[in-house]
Structure 1
Amino acid sequence: MGFFDLFNEEEETRKENRKEVRGVDREPDTEFAAEDAHLDLRQEELDIHKHSEETGDVVLHKDIVEEEKVVNVPVSHDQVIIERRAVDHEPTAEPITEEETVHIPVTAETVDVDKHTVVTGEVSAHKRAVQETEQVRDVLHKEVADVEAHGDTDIINED
């Protein structure tokens, strides 16, 4: 016979004694026993359960906005400056020809504008769990033993 078998046998004996005591016609709250009495004390405890519920959402999207940009671009172009000056009738060996032409190319910078797309940043989103403490309040009931002594009694409390 093991330890637990002995314990279970003693518990069965106690239960039988309680049945005998309760079997007598008396008030239902009162037990009378010659040697042994037993009173179960009960108390309430909180059963706390948590669950997740959706409280909202976050949506990321892009919008396209227009912005007018003004850029000053330095450009250059050629100017032809015609200078005339008087010469003091110097003699020359060159004959007068019918026509003489000088060609001077003139240039100017022009601005061509194209567009290209570049990445300027990124937006990311992630969730994280945050631990908080929520206080729960409720009233719990508990049974406690109340020992009343009447007459000449010798009571020893063992805890």
Structure 2
Amino acid sequence: MQTSLLPGKKKALLVTVIVLPALFLYGFKLFSTEQEWINWGNRFLNESYDPTVEPKLKKYEITLTTDHFIRLRKTYQQGKQEYYSFNLQRFAGLDYLPGKAETDTLQMKTQTDDIIIQTYQDPQGDVDSMATHWEIPVKKLSPQRLDSLKEALTFLKSKGL
């Protein structure tokens, strides 16, 4: 006499059939959400950054990376480069400082001296230093966009653990 699956095996099969696809979909949703925050953060930083504050700036690249770093590389007309970087795991806060005309400042804060600042090809000498805050010139921001940025950085900080 052949028997069907034992009750314990039926339960295990049912759990496997229901739980594994749910875990896959849930995990995919988390990854998708994280990538969406990274994409949104990159769009926000690039749309909001105000390079007009530095007239000698030739080009800049600001990026929120998939490994949760915010990086800014600035190249000036005479070849000098400045590089700023920090991992969001060290993110401690964000202040919005009103400025003149159309430009304001985002002040990123870290727990300790976690922001890397480097200069290259600087006539006054190349410098490597660390800081606890970093001021980024931005175009005027609405409170809603600022809140969204705080939410994105906080979310990504929690994912870096």
Asked whether the two chains share a fold, i.e. TM above 0.5, the reply is: no
Higher CA-based Rg: 1
Question: Quick check: which one's helix share is greater?
Answer: 2
TM-score tier after normalising by the smaller chain length? under 0.3
Between 1 and 2, higher relative CO (CA 8 Å, sep ≥ 6) is seen in: 1
What TM-score do you get using the length of structure 1 for normalisation?
0.18
What TM-score do you get using the length of structure 2 for normalisation?
0.18
